[in-house]
Each structure stands twice: as C-alpha cells, then as structure tokens.
Structure 1
C-alpha cells in the first residue's frame, strides 16, 4: 500500500484551501472515496479506532 501526504507547513496556501480542494473542487470525488482520501484509508490501515457517530 502507499499513501500520499504533504508537509502542510511547506504549502504555499492555507490548510483550509488544501482541504477545500478535495471537499469542494473535485465534484467526482464523493462519499466513501472522499472519506478515504481525507484520511480514512490511513486510519483504517493503522487500526485506529474511530469515534462513535
């Protein structure tokens, strides 16, 4: 498996802008795929427990 990440401290834009790119600017990325891209895949791979919904 491989996961992509970035050092947010070196980005030329704000953290909010980075998040917005995925959550609002990619209309084809939705549902479970969006959740996995936004960190869910790494959380699952590491075996971290998710908070109860």
Structure 2
C-alpha cells in the first residue's frame, strides 16, 4: 500500500483517502445544492463577506 505522512504524523493509505473522497464529494455537492445548504451558505457569506465573489 502507498502510505503518505501528513503534518499530523498519521499514516493513511492512499486507497483509503481516495475511497473517502469518492464518498464525501457527492455528499458535499448534494448539501450545497439543497435548500438547507443554500441557506447555510448565504448565512456564512454574510458572516464572512470577504469570501463573496465580486
């Protein structure tokens, strides 16, 4: 297995990270596209307006 150390000194096999990414990315997209996600993002942008697109 291909292992890579990170700044927290935890060995996580690349295969595990890849599998996690394949799972979490669609979940993040679904949340962002939902009404709840859009409302959360709007509130977040109001709090952190420096990240709003100009």
> Which TM class, normalised by the smaller chain length?
under 0.3
The structure number with the bigger radius of gyration is 2
More helix by share: 2
Q: Which has the higher contact order (CA 8 A, sep 6+)?
A: 1
TM-score (norm 1): 0.27
